[in-house]
Structure 1
Amino acid sequence: MSRDNRLYLAWVVALVATLGSLYFSEVRGFRPCVLCWYQRIAMYPLSVILGVAALGSDLAVRRYVLPLAAAGWIVALIQNLEDWSVIPTLKACSALADPTVVPCNTPWPLWGAGALSGLNGILTIPVLSLTAFTLIIVLLSWRRRRL
């Protein structure tokens, strides 16, 4: 796979993740938690920056995009670790600290609970976010050839 194709695929992943998060909040009515907002802050610019870079075949965009994707990946990992009860829920993510806050470990149901019943609890919005950031990082982590 060429580096240009990987750039386009990374853009598609970022675009699908952005549109998916907007679908969950604006159409399905899921209120984003604190960690979800931080992941959006990292993902939304990626969909624009990677789109512009892909259209211009700007392979140098990696140096700007990878740190942003890595930051989003870390936040997504923290949220998943909270969901899996590996680490305690952060105070900022707790409804106890502020009753208007959506807890970061809220188990939002995904599409077709019947169709995905075997994946219930495994395929969550934070897992989708972690997957998207991982794909972007992997797609853009190609090695440079030395001349």
Structure 2
Amino acid sequence: MVRKHTLLIGFLVSFGSVVASMYYSNIVGFTPCTLCWVQRIFLYPQALIFGIALFKRDFGVADYILGLSIVGGAVALYHTYIQFGGAPLVPCSAEVISCSQRFFVEFGYITIPTMSLSAFVLIALCMVALKRVPPVLH
């Protein structure tokens, strides 16, 4: 039961994140910065992988998803650090929007990179749970 639900939760979180990022960039008009694009590179494939895994009932995707989530989460954590006043280790390109620009702040701390970080952490936790539950033998 846990195995099936972790894939479903992971799919819903990753697909919802893809839809949200497309909404913010294509409908609201927020131009994604370089770090936003990097986070998308690690998030978008997860929705596809989860969708295929759900369809095929393939529970062996945890390692792939976990790798994508850890790297994407690290980028999101760094992006959050920059947005809350941290000095960037590598400056963003001058040709695109600044990575430190906040389009909105809800509840005093929720920004787009914070939402991205939350999604990556939730997906990673689901994959850790999936790896810890032994497979059911038929």
Check whether TM > 0.5. yes
Distance in 2 between residues matched to 1:91 and 1:109, nearest whole Å:
23
* Equivalences for residues 1-147 of structure 1 within 5 A: 2-85=2-85, 87-93=86-92, 98=94, 100-109=95-104, 119=107, 121-142=108-129, 143-145=132-134
| Cα offset, 1:145, TM superposition | 3.1
Q: Letter of the 1:101 partner, please give it.
A: V
Q: Letter of the 2:109 partner, please give it.
A: I
Matched-pair contact (CA < 8 Å) for 1:69–1:136: yes
Number of paired residues? 134
Deviation readout 1:76-124 (Å, 9 max, x if unpaired): 0000111122x3124442xxx52x22111111026xxxxx5xx1x4111
Q: Letter of the 1:18 partner, please give it.
A: V
Q: Letter of the 1:123 partner, please give it.
A: I
Distance in 2 between residues matched to 1:90 and 1:19, nearest whole Å:
30
Matched-pair contact (CA < 8 Å) for 1:34–1:92: no
Q: RMSD in angstroms over aligned alpha carbons?
A: 1.8
Instruction: Tell me: CA distance 1:20–1:88, structure 2 relative to 1, closer, same or farther (3 Å).
Output: same
Matched-pair contact (CA < 8 Å) for 2:3–2:133: no
Unaligned 5+ residue runs, structure 1?
Answer: 111-115
Deviation readout 1:19-73 (Å, 9 max, x if unpaired): 0000000000000001000000001100101111012111101121110111100
Distance in 1 between residues matched to 2:2 and 2:90, nearest whole Å:
44
TM-score of the two chains, using structure 2 as the length reference: 0.89
The percentage of aligned residue pairs carrying the same residue is: 35
TM-score of the two chains, using structure 1 as the length reference: 0.84
Report the structure, 1 or 2, having the larger helix content.
Answer: 2
Unaligned 5+ residue runs, structure 2?
Answer: none
Matched-pair contact (CA < 8 Å) for 2:33–2:97: yes
Distance in 2 between residues matched to 1:24 and 1:89, nearest whole Å:
24
